[in-house]
Amino acid sequence: MDLEISPLARPFPDMPAIDGVTLRVARARYKEWDRADLTYAELAEDTALAGVFTRNVCCSTEVEMGRESVAKGRARALIVNAGNSNAFTGYRGREAVEQITGQVAEELGCSPEEVLVSSTGVIGVPLPQDKAREGVSAALASEPCTWEEATAAIGTTDTFTKGATATAMIGETKVMLNGIIKGSGMIAPDMATMLGYIFTDAAVEPAFLQECLSAANTRTYSCITVDSDTSTSDTVLAFATGKAGNATLTSFGDPGADAFMAALEEVCRELAQLVVRDGEGASKFISVSVSGAESNDSARRVGLAIGNSPLVKTAIAGGDANWGRVVMAVGKAGEPADRDTLSIAFGGHWAAKNGLPVKDYDEGPVAKHLEGDEVDIAVDLGIGTGHATVWTCDLTHGYISINADYRS
């Protein structure tokens, strides 16, 4: 099935080179296709590593081994396989990953734990070791490629390539951050995944890089949903080569640490939103802002209950300002809330305030707002100061077509 490019797609940005990062791709032919499907990123010595991973209990070997590498905090290379997720493949899947880390480690003269591997695609089929070995060899021998070529090679059923870039000043030093990502839901017929990678030339201690990435994750990747289904392989890794030459960041007390954190979060937010923009069948990009909650975490969970509600998402698809469904979703979230202090707005127009429909509510401007492809829903719980914003897309016939109308 050929997928049309999402109507919410964004062009791939101009991405600068990141000192200490070299990208290469190769054709491992994990599937019957003629495209690059193995990506290799070589990283400077002493590159700091941080990562966040799926909480799915049935996670892949790649996720298990990635966690071990992140605990040590250093990386020399990243390999991404597209077309086979290697999940639910037992010891044979693990052997395939160990073969790759060993092969790359030997080439670079580093520890196998400094080689990160991600895989995305069909589940239950061990990654073929012969294809992986030849693919890695071909990548090692190939010419460096562009950021967009590498991004295309990590994609599976993505309908467009997704990247983001930012800079930050650390003291007198300008540092660069590039991020790339793949994902658009758990796409049929395979077990697809969200894989994201951020590369920076900044010098950052691994523990602090992890602190920044975890904080950004809470406010970006953890705030998006396409279809409420959590992959077995979701992974976001951050690599800091240190080649920019800034004084190494170790905590938020360091000059420039706040700027670095802001730039990292900006890249993460853009990448996360791009995944939503490629959500299966998406025709509208929806921002759900929740305020007045007991805590920020509580606000995020309420936002996700709204963003995951099929009834809210189908209402938006139909251009229907059905705030009753938003009430329902708030109520089912299981978070502290009070029906009688609840207020709801679409595109800045309040439909309900303090538990009652707004008097003389005019649906006209709201209906006009819902005709666009960017929809804002604001919910004020009226019980605290916690707030969060969640991003999602609408639920359309396109989602059903992609996921039900053909066999794997």
Q: Give the footprint of its own copies on this chain (CB under 8 A).
A: 55-59, 87-90, 122-125, 186, 188-191, 227-232, 308-311, 314-315, 317-320, 322-325, 327-335, 337-340, 342, 352, 355-357, 394-397, 399-401, 403-408
Residue with tokens 């070589």: 42
Q: Of 122 and 180, which CB lies nearer to its own copies in the complex structure?
A: 122
Least distance (Å) from its own copies to the CB of residue 80?
A: 19
Residue 370 CA to residue 345 CA, distance in Å, equals 12
Say which residues have a Cβ less than 8 Å from residue 37's Cβ, sequence separation at least 6.
27, 28, 29, 30, 31, 81, 82, 83, 135, 153
248 is in an annotated binding site: no
| Min dist. Cβ of residue 126 to its own copies (A) | 9
146 is catalytic: no
* Residues in CB range of 11: below 8 A, 6 or more apart: none
> Sheet harboring 224-225: ordered strands across?
224-225, 386-393, 285-293, 374-380, 343-346, 349-353, 356-357
Q: Considering the complex, state which of residue 189 and residue 347 has its C-beta at the smaller distance from its own copies.
A: 189
3-class DSSP state of 321: coil
408 annotated ligand-binding residue: yes
Q: How many residues does the chain have?
A: 408
Alpha carbons 24 and 40: distance in angstroms, whole number: 5
Q: Is 280 part of any known ligand binding site?
A: yes
CA distance 142 to 145: 9
132 contact partners, CB below 8 Å, separation of at least 6: 28, 38, 81, 96, 99, 100
Give first-to-last CA distance, the chain, whole Å. Answer: 10
Packing angle, helices 206-219 and 257-277, rounded to 10:
40
**Shortest distance (Å) from residue 364 CB to its own copies:** 13
Pick 235 or 396: Cβ nearer its own copies: 396
Quote the least distance from Cβ 109 to its own copies, whole Å: 34
- Minimal distance in Å, beta carbon 229 to its own copies? 5
> Catalytic: which of 54, 193, 200, 232?
193
3-class DSSP state for residue 356?
strand
156 is an annotated ligand-binding site residue: yes
Q: Are strands 115-122 and 74-84 parallel, antiparallel or unpaired?
A: parallel
Cα gap 114→132, rounded to integer Å: 18
Q: How far apart are CA 352 and CA 363, in angstroms?
A: 12
Q: How far apart are CA 158 and CA 70, in angstroms?
A: 27
Which CB, 136 or 293, lies closer to its own copies? 293
| Beta carbon nearer to its own copies, 171 or 318 | 318
CA distance to 79, 181, 204, per residue, from 243 (Å): 21, 23, 10
Check whether 151 is labelled as a binding-site residue. Answer: no
193 is in an annotated binding site: yes
Q: Give me the least distance between CB of 403 and its own copies, in Å please.
A: 4
Cβ closer to its own copies: 73 or 336?
336
Smallest separation (angstroms) from its own copies to the CB of 114: 26
d(C-alpha 34, C-alpha 32), whole Å: 7
Nearer to its own copies, 288 or 329 (CB): 329
- Enumerate the known binding-site residues for substrate: 156, 182, 193, 280, 403, 408
Tell me the catalytic residues.
193
Residues tagged in the binding site annotation: 156, 182, 193, 280, 403, 408
